[in-house]
A and B are shown apart, each in its own frame.
Chain A
Amino acid sequence: MIQKISASISVELIYDHRQHTVTPRRLFWNGRLFRTTQLGLHHTQHQGQTLLHFFSVVSQGLFFKLKLDTDTLHWTLEEISDGLAN
C-alpha cells in the first residue's frame, strides 16, 4: 500500500568522498528510528528555481520517498509504502 504523507522528517545524510555518493543513512519519523538499507533512486527536480533532491530508500521493510529542499535544507517525507497492492 502506498501512502502520500508530506510530513517533516529528520534525516542523517552521509557523503562518501571516495565513492562520491550521497546516501540518507538514518531517518527519525513518528517516534521511530529507521536505518536505511538500500537507496533505490536519487533524482532531482526544479520547483521554480528551487532545486529539490528526492531520495527513494528502503528501511525495515518499508519504502520512503524523501525530499530535500535546497533553499531551506529541510526534509519532507513524501511517500511511504510496504510494497503491497492497495
Chain B
Amino acid sequence: MAWLTEFGFNPAPATVMHLDINSCFATIEQQANPLLRGKPIAVAAYNSPQGCLLAPSVEAKKLGLKVGMRVREGLILCPDLIVLTPDPEKYRSVHHSLKKILSEYTSVVIPKSIDEFVLDFSGTPSFTRGLSIVALEIKRRLKEELGEYLTVSIGLAPNRFLAKTASNLHKPDGLDEINKSNFLKVYQQLSLTDLTGIARSSSLRLNQAGIYTVLDFFQADLQALHLAFSSISGHHWFQRLHGWEVDQTEWAVKSFGHSYSLPKFLTKPADLAPILSKLVEKVGFRLRKSNFQARGVHLGLLFQDHQYWHQGSSFTQPIFLSQDIYRAAYHLLSQSPHHLPVRYLAVSCYGLVPGNSIQLGFFEDHLKKENLVKALDQINLRWGNFTITPATMVTAKDLVQDRISFGR
C-alpha cells in the first residue's frame, strides 16, 4: 500500500455534502411551539430528575448543558430550563420532509441518523451549479418550507469523513468546506478528539505512537498508523485524512434490537417479564416486517451497581414468532447469575436469514404459525401498534415508549 503515499491530498473538488440539523429535537420543538423560542429548553428521555438529556437547545447549550446530562444537573445549571419528553413522530415527519427536499438535488441521499444526511453530488447537474450555492438554497428552502426556526450545519468535502468534519466547524447554521486549498489550516484548529471516530482511548493510542495533533496524524506515514491501530483502521485513517473515500460502505442489517432504561429498578424475572414482552413484541414486529427470521436471541442486563451481564442463545431452526423470541429471552433472563435490581434491559435477534427460507419441521406446523402471525401483524398495522398484544405485556402497556435511536 506504499503507493498510496504518493497521491497526497485528494485534489478533486468537494462532491460530498454532510447536513446536520442543529440541536434537532429541541429546535423542532421550538419550531412547533413559538413560545419556547429563545429559551433554554431540553428534550429528555424522561422529565424526572434522573432523566437523560437527549437534546438541549442552542440557548441551553450556551449555559453549559450537554447531551447525556441528567435533568437534575440541567436544572442546577439552569433553574428555568423547560424539559420536554420526546415526540418521535414530530421529528420523523421533519426528517422525511427534509429528505424530500434534498432528493430534488441528487439521487444519493443517505440518512445517517434522524438529524444527519450525506449527499453525493458526483455527476449531478446540481454539482455544476456549485455546492456552496446549492447548500445556501437548501438552507433557505428549509426555512421557507419546513420552519423558519430550523437551522442546519452543512459541510462540503471530497469525502464523507471530511464533509462531516466540516459540518462540525461552525454550529449552529454553519457552512464550511474542506478541500485541497484549506485542509492544513483546518487541521491546525482541531484536536484529535474533534475527529469523529477518535475518542479518548484512540487518542491515547495515537499519543503512544507520537501523534499528538491532527497535523501529526495527517503527516504520519502508513506504517506508523498501522502500528498505532494494529489493524486496517490505520490505512483507512490515512485515506480519510487525505480526502479519499473509505466510508462508502453501507452495512447490511445484522440484528434487530430494543432496549429500555427502567424508571424503577426491578429484580425478579416475573416483574421484568411484562417489559421484556413489550420489547420482544417490537423486535418481532420489525424482524417480520423486514422479512427476516433469526437464528439467535441476545439479552443484556445492566444492574443498579453498573455491572453488566449478557448472554446469547442460538438455534438450528430460525424463529420469527414473538412468542418464540420471548420464550428464549425469558429463559436467558432466568439464567442470570445476578439477583440484583435491573436498571436497563436490552433484547435483540441476530443470525438473520431471509423470511421465506422456512424449513418445515415434523412436529410443528410452521405454515399455520406464519399465517397466524401475519394476521396479527396486519391487525396491528391497520389499527395501530399493540392493538393485539400478548397477555404477558398488559401491565407494560404504557411503558417502553416510542424512541428514536441515535444510529441509523
Contact present for A43 and B90 (CB under 8 Å): yes
The answer, among A2, A48, A81, A85, for a CB contact under 8 Å with B381, is A48
The reply to whether the CB of B47 lies closer than 8 angstroms to some CB of chain A is: yes
A21-80 residues at the B interface, CB under 8 angstroms: 38, 40-41, 43-45, 47-50, 54, 56, 58, 61-63, 65
The interface size of chain B toward A, counting residues with CB under 8 Å, comes to: 25
- Which residue of chain B has the shortest Cβ distance to A82 in the bound complex? B35
* Stretch from B25-33, B203-211, B222-230, B332-340 at the A interface: B25-33
User: Contact residues of A with B, CB < 8 Å?
Assistant: 2, 38, 40-41, 43-45, 47-50, 54, 56, 58, 61-63, 65, 81-86
The answer, among A40, A54, A84, A86, for a CB contact under 8 Å with B31, is A40
The answer, among B82, B147, B387, for a CB contact under 8 Å with A84, is B82
Per DSSP, chain A at the interface is strand
Distance in angstroms from A5 CB to nearest chain B CB is 14
Contact present for B82 and A40 (CB under 8 Å): no
Q: Assuming A43-B90, A48-B387, is B34 touching A86 (CB within 8 A)?
A: no
Contact present for A2 and B84 (CB under 8 Å): yes
The reply to whether the CB of B80 lies closer than 8 angstroms to some CB of chain A is: yes
Contacts of A82 in B (CB 8 A): 35
Contacts of A2 in B (CB 8 A): 84
B343-399 residues at the A interface, CB under 8 angstroms: 380-384, 387
Contact present for B32 and A61 (CB under 8 Å): no
Contacts A48-B383, A83-B33 aside, 16 further interface pairs with beta carbons under 8 A come to A40-B31, A41-B32, A43-B89, A45-B93, A48-B381, A49-B382, A58-B33, A58-B34, A63-B33, A63-B34, A65-B32, A81-B35, A82-B35, A83-B35, A83-B39, A86-B82
The answer, among A43, A49, A61, A63, for a CB contact under 8 Å with B94, is A43
The reply to whether the CB of B134 lies closer than 8 angstroms to some CB of chain A is: no
